[in-house]
Amino acid sequence: MDGGLYQPAELAASGAGGSGGGAAMGRGLLAAAVLPGNSSATMDISISGALDQQLTIMWVLLCSFQVFFMQSGFAMLEAGTVRIKNLSNIMLKNVIDACVSTVAWWALGYAFAIGAAYLIYTCAISAFVYPVVAHWVWSESGWLSARRRPTWNCGVKPVVYEPLIANTMGTMDFAGSGVVHMVGGGAALVGAALLGPRLGRFSQDGHAVQFSNASAAHMALGVFILWLGWYGFNAGSTQCFYGCMQVAATIAVNTTLATGAGGLTCLFLSVFFGAPGDIGPLLNGILAGAVSITASCAMVHSYAAVVIGAVGAAVYLGASKLLLRLRIDDPVDAAPVHFFCGAWGVLAVGFFATETFTNAAYGYAADWGVFYGGSGRQLGMQLLGMLCIAAWTCSLSFILFWCLRKAGWLRVDKESEQQGLDIAQVPSRKCMP
């Protein structure tokens, strides 16, 4: 467990392979704990440090497996959203994405984000852009980190180093609204802007033309898989078992309420603005609520989680409309859901975090949300962290996508786009009915 170093669930999901033996040891110790060692009627119920470590490893692995399964949720959501002529292609890309990301993160990302290794080589988002942000915010030595200390254990007051803004916690992003979702959404935003809209997406007068989705059933299934995976994503970021389950329970409740509030808000707003019966905004509203609560899931009251999720849904709808006005074609609304709602999620900590929950989640509380008596400096730190994540991600993504466009590799030719990538790029494959 790297000396007790805090490691969010997203990091563990990619690095869990290195802890595979720990699960077997954990099962062995659990079995040993319940087997009678002698004929004495007295059982030692104290939890040893070794057993605590194995329970923690087991907890992290279980949550990591749940987070990994979220990849299938994204695959189903995207497969249902795109047109059917591109269905096989989008599934192929999702499988390749999982393979490339895990290898790239193992080769470089984990060591840079958590350890002190120099860069060995770079491999786009998974190996460079994301690990740098993870290091800033989540590492003990990150300049934006709320965990600038040698070690961390739940409920134990740590040795705290002074953050960038005095008397604040550093940028608090408990499970990754900024580190994970803003990075992915920012790359999607820049990529969509440089790629340009799909053929026929906008009419001559600039109005958006609605394309048919491949399958609403796949979209709904994907969102439900993601919703389930989010519990492992958020609750698993406690990264400990003994003494952390109350925090994990708070996270689970807040995640549930924020996602539900996000979906309902999008449903009501869609009906209000004259688009009833469209499942797309409802499903993306659920994801918007989940993204929005990810940063503050351990630090807010349940009613605040409802507000954060509802506001996140409104942010998603507004951002989606804004991109259409700018003629930026984002087929799955990745940027509105992940980048814009992720930014809101980071800022929401500065409004809604409480002293009690912050202390329970981080082991200390230097400052908290302005709605609960905070000084406002923490809100400033959240704003600074959000802007730094956005600037780093968008600038690096722009360089990457600009180079791809200059090389002629960013966009397929017009004929292939009209024909459909399933036929143009993989002729042996047939579109699924």
Residue 84 structure tokens? 């059917």
pLDDT > 90 in the chain, percent:
35
**What would the mean pLDDT of 38-53 be, rounded to a whole number?**
52
Q: What residues make up the domain containing 138? A: 53-424
Q: How far apart are CA 139 and CA 126, in angstroms?
A: 17
Residue 18 included in any domain: no
**Per this entry, what is the length of the chain?**
433
CA angle in degrees (0–180, nearest 5) for 348-350-351: 65
Is the residue at 63 inside a domain?
A: yes
Q: In this structure, is residue 311 part of a structural domain?
A: yes
Nearest Cα to Cα of residue 98 among 86, 106, 88, 110: 106
- What is the arithmetic mean of pLDDT over 107-136? 59
CA 131/CA 144 separation, integer angstroms: 14
Lowest mean pLDDT among 133-137, 189-193, 229-233, 284-288: 229-233
Instruction: State how far the Cα of 85 lies from the Cα of 96, in Å rounded to an integer.
Output: 19
Number of domains composing the chain: 1
Structure tokens at 149: 């200390």
Given a contact cutoff of 8 angstroms between Cβ atoms, the answer to whether 291 and 188 are in contact is: no
Structure tokens at 11: 């990091």
140 located within any domain: yes
In a domain, 16, yes or no: no
* Predicted local confidence at residue 214, as pLDDT: 66
pLDDT in tens, 264-317: 999 889 888 877 767 888 889 999 999 999 999 999 999 999 999 999 999 999
The reply to whether 37 falls in a domain is no
- The pLDDT-based confidence of 344 (bands split at 50, 70, 90) is very high
Q: Which of 75, 125, 83 is nearest to 104 (CA)?
A: 125
CATH of the domain at 120: 1.10.3430.10
110 inside domain = yes
Q: Is 22 inside any structural domain?
A: no
Residue 356: pLDDT band (50, 70, 90) is very high
Report pTM: 0.74
- Phi, psi of 34, rounded to the nearest 5 degrees: -100, -10
**207: which DSSP letter?**
P
